[in-house]
Copies of this chain bind each other. A is one copy, B any other.
Amino acid sequence: MLEKQRHQLLLDILDEQQFASVNDLSSQLNASEATIRRDITKLAKQDQLRKIRGGAEVLNSSERRSRRPHLSGTAFLAAKEQRADVKRLLAKEAVKFCEDGEFIIINGGSSTYMMREFLAERHLNVLTNSFVLAQELAETSDNQITLPGGELYRKQGIILSAFENDTIQYYQASKMFMGTPGIGKFGVMESDPLLIQTEQKLKKQADQLIVLADSTKLGKRSNFILCPLSEVDVLITDSEADPELVKYFESENIQVILVDVNQPS
């Protein structure tokens, strides 16, 4: 059996049963114990599993090296599919807010990613933590692109850093655009704890915060509160939004833009 293949199977086994002894693996993969030990050592070096006495142990997902959730691939584009048509309209409206030459920040996410289509023929200065958006804009537009430093998280297609990041700190934008899994009286939500810190750092550098959220997101809760409503300047949503909530947002001094979902596009 090929080494690579054996490695793959070994990881598959671990995925299912959490732990595996050298002996188990040796018989399941019919390879000698010496070989299994070498495999484990190698895979441990690659951060694919944890070597423990007697065998190996799986890593929990946060430690694990993303097992090829491809950029531009599965996870990201799949999320993009949901209500893609509405998101596209919100994105279109968002881009209309910008004047050529303006400095803006675009936070990663499937809603804001849609802005790429409309940014193609614009000439803005864009700071974004979305690697995939940067990629698109670099290829299809003349916008000036700035990226924050950090590690690339393939699953989200985003660049994250634990450190204070000077590139962000020196960037001053008039507007920041972001999507959200939920927005309500409690504020703007975020489901991915990894993202919160970066988002808050980005938000500090912009004069105006513009949130994109289709009507199903209104009033929805999620894991974490990213910021209170008072920090939101504009909310772009669709015409099916609950009028009560819209009124409430407006009473909180938020400019609400309702995009007609039956618009021809």
Contact = CB atoms under 8 A, between A and B. Distances in A.
A170 interface: yes
A42 to B, nearest CB: 7
A218 B91 CA distance: 52
A76 to B, nearest CB: 11
Nearest to A5: B19
Contact of A46 (B63, B74, B123): B123
Given A2-B21, A45-B123, A100-B45, A151 B142 contact: no
Contacts of A161: 149, 166-167
Interface of A: 2-5, 8, 18-19, 21, 42, 45-48, 52-55, 57, 60, 62-63, 65-68, 70-74, 99-101, 121, 123, 131, 134-135, 138-139, 142, 144-152, 154, 159, 161, 163-168, 170
The 7 closest A-B pairs by CB, nearest first: A149-B167, A149-B149, A46-B123, A145-B152, A45-B101, A62-B73, A2-B54
